[in-house]
Each structure stands twice: as structure tokens, then as C-alpha cells.
Amino acid sequence: MASTKTPIWKFKPLDPKIDRTELDPGSLQLSRDDLLRLYRAMRMSRTFELRLASLYRQGRVVGAVYLGMGHEAIATGVVSVLRPDDLFNTTGRNLSAWFYRGVEPKHVLARWLGKDQEPSHGRDLGLFLADLDHFGIAPYHNGSMASWIPSGAGFALAFKMRREPRVYVAMTGDGATSPGDFYEGLNFAAIHKLPLVVIVENNQFGYSTANEREMPVENVADRAPAFNIPSEIAFGNCVFTVIETASRAIGHARSGKGPYLVELKTFRQRGHGEHDDASYVPKEMREYWTARDPVVLFTKYLLGKGGFGALEIEAIDKQCEEIMEQAVEYAEKLPYPKPETVTERLFAP
């Protein structure tokens, strides 16, 4: 008789070669300011998301909420390597990337509340932002979760056609390496050696579906030979490792050698959305990854080998809390978009 038990996902620890519970910048040369900028983005993101989760539970947010807690090192580290005119797109796990590039928390919150905030004016979820002119954040849609890999190839094609040394970074998840667009986009980019970098944040679950049910290979990066492109697997919760890996990938693409596939192993601390209690995550797995929280690890480094004082770090933490308070005030005060405007801006003039 067939089993009627709910499958229990198995927990596998990281390859010890890439695992770490203590951060070290290795050969990276990062200034004090560089480190603080990274920290601010990660701390602001963590502060924001904790508060957003609490607002959600209080019924003060419109619709569902998706958080990227646990992914902060990836978003921040990758985006820190970009030049101002590089483009990238983000998913719901990359809030810290927006903050690193200068997006204001109060505007993000206003969008989560469905208020009349540029550029979407309530037409789209707080989860989505596209602003090429101010932040280099490219538009995408999430029809299939890989749908921005072909469009990413298109942006990269434009760079190549104009002979611009710019790079497009598509951030995506393990689940998004299943749809056809993953294959079609990378295939096209590889043929034409386009400057497209695909960062796969493998948090080991696509919603509730573990890697073992999503793919027949051990790692997403194992698929790179299908495109004849280089790939790398690294620990996603160490911001230094992310920077190193991303630098190699982005440098490769910028030099005209074509796409690069980066797989960063990480863990999604919350559910797919806040409506999801993620009870399918094995307890052992959660404990293992809690000990590898990227924000906690980086804070420990700064206060330890990094040589920062506790007061300085606490001042930043406090600033983040204040910015969040102001964001809540701003967002809740901002009006909703007027219903009379709902049919406007459908077609460009």
C-alpha cells in the first residue's frame, strides 16, 4: 500500500569546505566606511522586516508579506560590487540591496501599505520595485520565477550592442531554476557571451518544496555545463565570501567572457510569506542555520576582529530603529491612490 504520510524533508549540513560560523575578510580590502555601509544596509533590512512582520500580524499591511531574513549577506554583498551604471533585479529576499543603493525605507513601506507612492502609485506590491534612473533596479515580472533571466539577457544584449562595459545581475532562487526561462535566458546569453550574471540564492526551499524534490542534481551550479559557462558554489551567509564570489562573476561578465552562474547556499528564516509557518522545515535544519545568521555573524565580526566599538554599532542599530519609526509614520499618513486614476498610464505616449 502506498504511504499516506506527509514527506519529511531531510536535513543535510553544508559541505565543511564552504561552511563557516565565524567571518573573515580573507584577502578582501574593505575600508571602515565600506564595512559600515554593508552593515547599515543589512541592519536596516533586518530591522525593517521584523517591523513589517509585526505590522502584518497587527493587520496594518495590505495583502501578503514576503521577507528575506537570512539572505541579507547575499543581497548586500552582491550589490556592493556593482558599479553605479550596472543594473540588477531583486526578489523579495533582497531588501538590503535596495537600501544599499539608496532606496528609502519609508517609500518601501508606503508601497507595502498600498499607498500612493512612486513609481507604482499602488499598482504593484511593495515587493516589486523598478527604478532604472535612480537606483539601477530593473523591471521584471514574476510570471514564472525565472522570467527575468531572459529579460536580463536582453538588458545585457543592449549593453553589448552599445559596447558599454556594464553588467546585469539577475538575482533569483533555487525554485526559479526549474522553469524553462532559466534555460532559455542563459542559453541565449551564453551563445552571445552577454554580460549576465545569475545569482541563485539557494535557500533550499521553493515555498514548501525542498531541493530534493525540485531538482535531480545536488547543486544548481551543476547545470552550468549545459550552457558552457563557469559557475561557483559558495556560502551565502558570509558577506565577505559573497563579495569575493560576486566580484569574480561580475568581473568575468564585464570582460566580455559571457554569463556566470553563482550559487550561494543560504536559508530562509521565515516562511515563503508571513502566512506560511514553514513547519515543513526540519527542526535540526533551523537550529543549524540560526547559528549561521548572516547579520549576527557580521555583527560579531565587526565587534571582534573588525575592531569596531559596541557604542558605534549600537548607534547604527538605534538609527535604523528611528528610521523605521519615521517610515511607519510616513507610510500610514500617506494617502491611497485615487480610484479615478486607475485607468491612467496604461499606454506610453
Positions touching other proteins (CB under 8 A) are: 119-120, 123-124, 128, 130-132, 138-141, 143-144, 147-159, 161, 168, 180-181, 183-185, 187-188, 191, 345-349
> At closest approach, how far in Å is the CB of 158 from other proteins?
4
> At closest approach, how far in Å is the CB of 300 from other proteins?
39
> At closest approach, how far in Å is the CB of 26 from other proteins?
35
> At closest approach, how far in Å is the CB of 122 from other proteins?
10
> Which of residues 157 and 303 has its CB atom nearest to other proteins in the complex?
157
> Which of residues 168 and 240 has its CB atom nearest to other proteins in the complex?
168
> At closest approach, how far in Å is the CB of 29 from other proteins?
33
> At closest approach, how far in Å is the CB of 160 from other proteins?
9
> Which of residues 99 and 168 has its CB atom nearest to other proteins in the complex?
168
HEC states along the chain?
CCCCCCCCCCCCCCCCCCCCCCCCCCCCCCCHHHHHHHHHHHHHHHHHHHHHHHHHHCCCCCCCCCCCCCCHHHHHHHHHHCCCCCEEECCCCCHHHHHHCCCCHHHHHHHHCCCCCCCCCCCCCCCCCCEHHHHCECCCCCCCCCCHHHHHHHHHHHHHHCCCCCCEEEEEECHHHCCHHHHHHHHHHHHCCCCEEEEEEECCEECCEEHHHHCCCCCHHHHHHHCCCCEEEEECCCHHHHHHHHHHHHHHHHCCCCCEEEEEECCCCCCCCCCCCCCCCCHHHHHHHHCCCHHHHHHHHHHCCCCCCHHHHHHHHHHHHHHHHHHHHHHHHCCCCCHHHCCCCCCCC
> Which of residues 62 and 278 has its CB atom nearest to other proteins in the complex?
62
> Which of residues 18 and 157 has its CB atom nearest to other proteins in the complex?
157
> Which of residues 152 and 294 has its CB atom nearest to other proteins in the complex?
152
Cα–Cα distance for residue pair 46/290, rounded to 1 Å: 14
> At closest approach, how far in Å is the CB of 23 from other proteins?
35
Q: Using alpha carbons, select from 199, 332, 207 the residue that is nearest to residue 265.
A: 199
> Which of residues 164 and 284 has its CB atom nearest to other proteins in the complex?
164
